[in-house]
Each structure stands twice: as structure tokens, then as C-alpha cells.
Chains A and B, each alone.
Chain A
Amino acid sequence: MSPDPVDRDAALRRILVARATRAPRTVPWLAIVGTVGVVGMLAGLAIGATALRGPDGVPAVGPSGFDLPPFLTEDSVVLGTPTVVATSDAVTHEAGKPPAGASGLAVWVTCEAPGSFELELDGRWEGGGDCDGGAGGYWRYERFGPNVVRVTPSTEQATVWIAWVDRGDDTTPSATAEAALADGTVTEEEYRAGFDRFVACMADWGVTVGGGFWDGDRISYSLPGHVNEWGAEHECYGTEFRDLDIAWQISHQE
């Protein structure tokens, strides 16, 4: 008769219960900068626990902590102390060299009043959107770049949160992709081969990648709307094409 793995199951159950039990996750403040037109490099600024004031004079967020952006999963670990900036103008933050274990940069923008923001990373436009409900995302860092984050809000009062994170659910490049990246440059042949592996991986998930034609200096393609089901794009793009795509586009941007 086989032994009952009850001890292991009991330990696993305790972990699952703890994970599912709602508890606030907070991180400490580091840099809180005044609200008027801050533009420039903010790395290294540490003004202390100055309470950020909202339009009504009430602290917008407490000085003792800051809720983690909701898009970070429970598996994510914030590395070091996040930078938090209160601003009404564009801010630029040089994140510098990624710390050991970092899988990306997390940026979260909240606005006190309806407004929007745009985000650039190392000089390239990455996206934007409405920020009055909070918005942002997770960006792979550029291993060859300086990792300069620039956030431009179009609102009177915004708070920008930037941190290096080790996102537990992140995918890592396949051995083939790593080999192509190893010398610090991505050739057109390596770029095209990475795309072909991405397409093949998606096909294995039952997803047909559309387009795939050469558009000036890069491959243009499209994906059906349901593609994220079961994480097909997350896995296939992350393992086979993401880092090659980023490196190629940066080295060929205008």
C-alpha cells in the first residue's frame, strides 16, 4: 500500500490558503518629489517620507507604504526600493543597470483627476493611456540600453511609481534565442529565425500568426484577439522572439 503524501499535501494546502488570503502588500517609500514641474534625472533623489498631498489637502497615499500595482502577481518581487514621484509635468528616471535577478521594470501611473500619460523607455514610445484609475505595465529592460523611463502626464497631479521587479511568471529566452543574443547584436538572420520559431510555437498552441511580412526594417504581424488564452503569446513571444525583437528594433530605429 502506498504511503499517503498527507504531509506534503498539508504543507501545500497551507501555502495555497495563505496565497489566497487577501492581505495588503506594501513597499516602503524612497523618493517623493514635490508636485511642481519636476523634470530631470531623479535617480538617487531621496527626500524622505514627505506626505504627498492631493488636491483636497488630504494625503493621497500614506507615507508608510504604497500598494503594489495591481498588475504585479503574487510571485513578483520588488528589488530594492521603488522610486515614487509626484509630478504635474514630465519626469525622467534613469533606472540604470538592472539589479541581479531583475526581469523587468514596472511602471505605474495614477492621476488625481481624469487625465492620461505617455511613456517612453530609452527614447522610444512604449504606450500610454488614461491614468485616473491607475495604469501602467511591465517592461522588459533593454540589456544594451540605459533604461531611462520618461513619463509625460497630461493632468495636474500624477504619481509615478517605478521599480525593478523579478516577475515570477516571466518567461526566459530559449537556449536558441539566448545564443543569438549572446554577442550583443542581432542579425537579420537571427531576427527572422526568432520570428519563425515564434510562429511555430504559436501554431503548436493552435494559433495562426497573421501577416509576417517585411515592413521596411522589421517584421509586421498580427494576432487574433483570443490569443492570450492559456498564455500562448506570453510563452511563445517570451521564449523565442521578445528579446530579439526588442534588440533588433532598437538597433534599427530612426
Chain B
Amino acid sequence: MGQGTEEADWGAALAGDGEAFGRIFDRHRDRVRRHGHRLVPTPADVDDLVAMTFLEAWRLRARVRVVDGSVLPWLLVAATNLARNQQRAARRHRALLAKLPPSTTTPDPAQRDELGLVARLDELSVVDRQVLVLCIIEGFSEREAAAALGVPPGTVKSRLSRARRRLAHAVFTEGTPHVS
């Protein structure tokens, strides 16, 4: 799969090497798809979300941040943002999505939202949701999340603390965690 580092591939893609962007897709499509299973309800939505995430990565390539040699954190945050407004984002890419073969993905039971965390994401602001996805759901460090989001580490820490408080309040005041 790889030809050199991911960071080198990203640089080559920006310089016009399309195949290098293809290798970025090869590296991260499955991880983005697994994340997508947590975010949107149907397998077809998951496949569209994967497509839109990589299309947005290219469209917004000037804003993409490479964290420790990887664009994965940026992709995961982008997928989270896109899932929030999937219908609107799908309109942007409707012509291209219509060209793709039908989805054959099936639900992934391994990605069940056991704690109901993902189902609660809509209750958080965008910025809180981003740090929660990176640090709690995907396991990145606060430093990595800060680099991916372009904010100081202290900001990630405070947002994470706030998101945890809000989620804990939402989950435990109702008594039963919501499972999607």
C-alpha cells in the first residue's frame, strides 16, 4: 500500500499526484467507515459519509492539518461535522454520489454505541463534539486533538471537561444510557 510516509503522500497529493491521494484513501477509509457506523443510522449513509469525508478533505485541503504525520484526526473530525449536516453536505456532492455504485455495506455490530455517547453528540456544541470524538471515542491524546483542531491544548482540556460533564449529566439524570 504505502509508498513512503503518509505525510509525504499528502504533500505529493497537494502537488498534483492523484495516486498519492489514493493511498491516503487506502490507509484511512476503513477507519473512517468504522467511525461512520457510530454516527449515522444506515449503511448507505455510512458509505456516503465516507465518500463525503474524503471529498471534503480534498476540497478543504488548505485547511487539513497533519498531526504526527497523519491526516486521520482531521478526517475523523470532518466526518463528525459532516454527519451533523449530512443532508446538506450530500446536496453539495449529489452529482458525484449518484455516480457511485450502490452501497453494499451492512451494519457493523462491533461499532455499537454501548454507552450511548455517540447518540448524545447532538446535545453538544460542535467544538465540544469534536474533542469528545477525538479524545474519548477515538483515543487520541489531548495534544493530538489540539494539533488537529488548531487550538491550544488547554482549550481541548477545558472543552473535554465540559463535554464530559454535559454527557454525564445527560446520561445519568435519565438513568438509562441511550443505545442507538
Looking at B103-111, B113-121, B139-147, B171-179, the stretch in contact with chain A turns out to be B103-111
**A229, CB-defined interface residue at 8 Å:** yes
Residue on A nearest B12 in the bound complex, by CB = A20
Set A3, A17, A205: member contacting B18, Cβ < 8 A: A17
Contact present for A205 and B96 (CB under 8 Å): no
Bound-state CA distance A249–B59 (Å) is 32
Task: Say whether, besides A2-B108, A20-B16, A206-B125, A229 and B58 are in contact (CB < 8 Å).
Answer: no
**A235 to B85 Cα, complex, angstroms:** 11
Residue of B nearest to A74 (CB): B59
A12 to B59, CA, bound (A): 15
Given A5-B47, A12-B54, A169-B59 in contact, is the A19-B104 Cβ separation under 8 Å? no
Q: Which size bracket describes the interface of B in this complex? A: 35 or more
B26-A13 in contact (CB<8A): yes
**Is B68 located at the chain interface by the 8 A CB criterion?**
no
Residues of B with C-beta under 8 A to A5: 47, 103-105
**Judging by beta carbons under 8 Å apart, are B21 and A16 in contact?**
yes
Q: How large is the interface on A (under 10, 10 to 19, 20 to 34, 35 or more residues)?
A: 35 or more
Interface contact B21-A17, CB-CB below 8 Å = yes
A252 in the interface, Cβ–Cβ < 8 Å? no
List residues of chain A with CB within 8 A of the CB of B150.
226, 229
Question: Contact: A17 with B59, CB < 8 Å?
Answer: no
**Contacting pair A7 B58 (CB below 8 A):** no
Given the complex, which residues of B lie within 8 Å of A169, measured CB to CB? 59, 92
Contact at A204–B92, with CB atoms within 8 Å?
A: no
B55–A8 CB distance below 8 A: no
A205 touches which of B59, B102, B105, B126 (Cβ 8 Å): B126
Question: Quick one: which of A2, A13, A17, A204 contacts B105, CB cutoff 8 A?
Answer: A2
A179–B13 Cα gap in the complex (Å)? 43
Listed by A's residue number, 6 A-B pairs whose Cβ atoms lie within 8 Å are A3-B104, A8-B100, A13-B25, A16-B22, A74-B58, A204-B125
